Amino acid sequence: MSDQYKSYGVDSHQEDVAMGKLLDWINPTFAFRPKIGKNILPVGFFANIIDIGNGKGIALSMDGVGTKILVAEKLGKYETIGIDCVAMNVNDLLCVGAEPVSFMDYIGVANINEHQIEALAKGLHEGAKQAKVNIPGGELAQVRELLHSGDHSIDIIGTAVGIVDLDKIITGKNILPGDCIIGLPSSGIHSNGLTIARRLLLNQGQDDKEIMEELLLPTKIYVEEVMALISQVDIKGMAHITGEGFLNILRLNANAKYNIETLPPIPSIFNKIQQAGNLPDTEMFKDFNMGIGFVMIVAEKDLKKALNIVEATNKKAYHLGFVSDSPQPCIEIKPKNIFSTGDYFQWMENM
């Protein structure tokens, strides 16, 4: 998270400290299931995988919608955030090469409102349809004392389950210099960066409703095109571009430099945010997806085939750049003249 987030009460340093304390107790639980049921990946990748024997694994992810819910509450429109909740979870499962199969939700409400719940359910249904998953159960809880943004306060989080052969797990370990970077476009802000966006864009007069509608555009679900690719192309690495922007690519298990040479047109919502906050590109590409919601790495020989497969699903894909050798993972976004250093981007001339 950035200095901009800290100014709004989200402290990334303290979060890192707290996460360390959490992992001190979580990581030792791996020993509780040393054989069947053991964890395959360390905590911190997009999803984890549980060995269930016979070469098969169950992939698991959990995520919510964050403060995008506050935009839905302000506008009184809840149909899309169910899609967001499904999307944030199934897109993470894809990153390890898993096929999503099921999703379960937790919905907390200040008060039961049947119209609000039905709207949420419609979104969950649409998200499940797009992701080709079922919803075998969930939880609806009345927790008024925990929710303080009004009588219609809600929270929604979900867990997605997928399946993958253990010998087909994708982590980025096979990435090589010369491989190509493919980007799948986002629909806009998705479900990250809403704390910054709300503070900068809302409460500015008559355009609020139009801006809120733009902020509520649901997160794209990439299951159809990614599963089509997995069945036909050797995908070496995948990254869901979420809360840390393009830096999510650095989660891939490779010492590589990711050279971004071209970018598709940036959705208007990001230009509005950047202008309203006078934010530099180094901040924008750290906190937002900037028009690319999902990234894949393939061998150069498979590039054209991969682009054609995505096009056959009536979706778009862009050749963003290439991979080169590096002593440590890093990203260079040449059109913006910025380079990653650790958890941040900085200007190339400062290198």
Q: What is the pLDDT of residues 256-308, one digit of tens each?
A: 999 999 999 999 999 999 999 999 999 999 999 999 999 999 999 999 999 99
Quote the CA–CA distance of 25 and 22 in Å, as a whole number: 6
Q: Which domain holds residue 245?
A: 180-350
Mean pLDDT on 50-57: 96
| 334 in the same domain as 196 | yes
| 164 in the same domain as 41 | yes
> Judging by DSSP bridges, how do beta strands 154-165 and 99-109 pair with one another?
antiparallel
Inform me whether the pLDDT recorded for 25 exceeds 70: yes
Domain end, chosen from 134, 168, 202, is at 168
Q: Is residue 163 part of a domain?
A: yes
Q: How far does CA 76 lie from the centroid of its chain?
A: 25
| 188 in the same domain as 275 | yes
CA-to-CA separations, 152 to 112, 143, 210, in angstroms, rounded: 8, 11, 21
| 245 in the same domain as 139 | no
Q: In sequence order, what are the residues at sequence separation of 6 or more whose Cβ sits closer than 8 angstroms to the Cβ of residue 230? A: 97, 99
Inform me whether the pLDDT recorded for 7 exceeds 80: no
Instruction: Give tens-digit pLDDT for 86-139.
Output: 999 999 999 999 999 999 999 999 999 999 999 999 999 999 999 999 999 999
CA-to-CA separations, 109 to 103, 184, 244, in angstroms, rounded: 20, 34, 28
| 288 in the same domain as 156 | no
Q: For residue 256, what is the domain's CATH number? A: 3.90.650.10
- What pLDDT sits at residue 275? 95
- What pLDDT sits at residue 349? 78
Domain end, chosen from 141, 168, 195, is at 168
Mean pLDDT on 222-246: 97
Across the chain, mean pLDDT equals 93
The dihedral built from the CA positions of residue 46, 51, 52 and 57, taken in this order, carries a sign that is positive
| 146 in the same domain as 39 | yes
Quote the CA–CA distance of 129 and 169 in Å, as a whole number: 25
Q: Is residue 138 part of a domain?
A: yes
Q: Is residue 127 part of a domain?
A: yes
Coil/strand/helix, residue 38: coil
- What pLDDT sits at residue 2? 54
| 291 in the same domain as 258 | yes
| 344 in the same domain as 196 | yes
Per-residue confidence band for 236, with pLDDT thresholds at 50, 70 and 90: very high
Inform me whether the pLDDT recorded for 174 exceeds 90: yes
Q: Is residue 24 part of a domain?
A: no
Per-residue confidence band for 16, with pLDDT thresholds at 50, 70 and 90: confident
| 184 in the same domain as 330 | yes
The structural domain count of the chain equals 2
| 156 in the same domain as 79 | yes
Q: How many Cα atoms are found within 13 Å in the side-chain-facing hemisphere of 273? A: 28
Q: Is the pTM of this model over 0.85?
A: yes
Inform me whether the pLDDT recorded for 255 exceeds 60: yes
Q: For residue 76, what is the domain's CATH number? A: 3.30.1330.10
Question: What is the widest separation between alpha-carbon atoms in the chain?
Answer: 60
| 163 in the same domain as 188 | no
| 345 in the same domain as 233 | yes
Q: Is residue 137 part of a domain?
A: yes
CB 98, CB 226: distance < 8 Å? no
Share of the chain above pLDDT 90, in %: 85
Q: Is residue 174 part of a domain?
A: no
CB 191, CB 270: distance < 8 Å? no
- What pLDDT sits at residue 351? 55
Instruction: Give tens-digit pLDDT for 195-213.
Output: 999 999 987 654 589 999 9
Per-residue confidence band for 60, with pLDDT thresholds at 50, 70 and 90: very high
Q: Is residue 91 part of a domain?
A: yes
Domain end, chosen from 168, 195, 212, is at 168
